Structure 1
Amino acid sequence: MSTTGKVRGSYAKTPARRREILEAGIEVFSTSGFRSGSIREIAERVGMSQAGLLHHFANKSELLAAVLELRDDQSAEVVPIDDEHVGIETIRGFVRLIEYNATVPGLVELHCTLSAEATAVEHPAHQYFINRYAFVVGQMTLAFERMRDAGQLVAGVTTVGAARAMVALSDGLQVQWLLDRTSVDMAEEMRRYLRGILTVEL
């Protein structure tokens, strides 16, 4: 114990300490990239040993999934998901998020790599991605349902189909962009898709 009464060292598991680690993880992967960013660099940023840092997580994959989960929480500030604003503003926010993602390639690479690896049932992030896709598709479906009711969706477009297509397009564009960042404008391609199913301007 320290003189202040706080537990010190690598075994002090607190929500605040875990949050600090995850925020450092976002910074490292945003600036250094998924491959170059390391557990050691994250640990150095928060003043811990690598062993001490990993004491807060079962393994590296769990840490990486938690970084993405925090990234998702922060994305809610860009994409309105509260009940009052779900609708066209949600879709507009989704496009803004795609524009932002183009500024943090390391996080995009982390998402793409981990989501592919997590298709294995035993992967630590498997359930996280199942839950994430269910949530995102659900929110986008609700947004399209409200837009349909407001006459903002082209007749015949199914709401869940539009939501799944939008999410799938986003993921596919990210892979193409990671392979060659000059080959595609992710946000503009998403706008092109949405213009074909909406009756209002984005």
Structure 2
Amino acid sequence: MGNSTPYRRTQTERTRASREKILQAAIEFFSKNGFRGAKLADIAQAAGLTEPGLLHHFPSKTHLLMQVLDERDRIDKQRVQMILQQEGNHVLEAFQDIVNHNATVPGLVQLFTVLVAESLVAEHPAHAFFVQRYQRTRASLVESIRKAQQAGEIRADLKAEDLAILMTAIMDGLQVQWLLEPETMDMRQAFGVFLNLLKAK
């Protein structure tokens, strides 16, 4: 019988695993307590690390917050791009998919909602992030809506700029109501009703 040596993860793999545990713990505590209320010591303990160990990967709470937000944005963009790159008219499907997915990750939705509310104060570390994020989101929506209007998927009698503002407002508003009443508020169905109003006849 040959000797089998147990597989040992590389340093890179261990580092990646530790960072992932920290990010998941940070999502939990930021979504429950906000940025101000979340404590690095609690996040570190939940990730199985000491606070100095956490700071080895993320040098400050602000840095950790921005990494959490960037990771959430990256995943959302990937989902949308996968649909939009398909052949045919899929803009409305992509919008619906975002809401459908958000309904499966209440922790991330709560994280976003809590931090947006906190960041209304200009001194909040994520204030500039969310201002720029909304600007990018509206610009991206305008581009997608215009293409869908040209393709005959979305009605053309409404300005793309107005629809982009309305769509972000409805998405965010539905998320707040859903977080408050998850048992009775069907966010996916309500957003689908809105999208039906946008379909070209």
Q: TM-score range by the shorter chain?
A: 0.7 to 0.9
**SS across alignment from 2:79:** coil
Structure 1: any 5+ residue segments left out of the alignment? 1-7, 9-13
CA distance in 2: counterparts of 1:79 and 1:164, whole angstroms: 18
Decide whether aligned partners of structure 1 residues 130 and 110 sit closer, same or farther in structure 2, where only a CA change above 3 A counts.
same
Contact kept, 8 Å, 1:112 with 1:175, in 2: the verdict is yes
Of structures 1 and 2, the larger Rg is shown by 2
Counterpart for residue 3 of structure 1: none
State the identity as a percent: 32
- The aligned runs of 1:72-87 (5 Å cut-off) are 72-80=73-81
CA distance in 2: counterparts of 1:87 and 1:141, whole angstroms: 18
For residue 129 of structure 1, report the CA deviation from its aligned partner.
Answer: 0.5
Decide whether aligned partners of structure 1 residues 54 and 26 sit closer, same or farther in structure 2, where only a CA change above 3 A counts.
closer
Contact kept, 8 Å, 1:81 with 1:139, in 2: the verdict is no
RMSD: 3.4
TM-score for the superposition, normalised by structure 1: 0.75
CA distance in 2: counterparts of 1:98 and 1:42, whole angstroms: 28
Structure 2: any 5+ residue segments left out of the alignment? 1-10
**SS across alignment from 1:196:** helix
- The aligned runs of 1:1-202 (5 Å cut-off) are 17=15, 21=19, 23-28=20-25, 34-35=31-32, 39-40=40-41, 42-44=43-45, 47-54=48-55, 56-57=57-58, 59-80=60-81, 88-199=89-200
Deviation track 1:74-126 (CA, whole Å, cap 9, x = no partner) reads 11221128985699434322311211111211111110010011111111001
Contact kept, 8 Å, 2:83 with 2:94, in 1: the verdict is no
Q: Which has the higher helix share?
A: 2
Decide whether aligned partners of structure 1 residues 17 and 46 sit closer, same or farther in structure 2, where only a CA change above 3 A counts.
farther
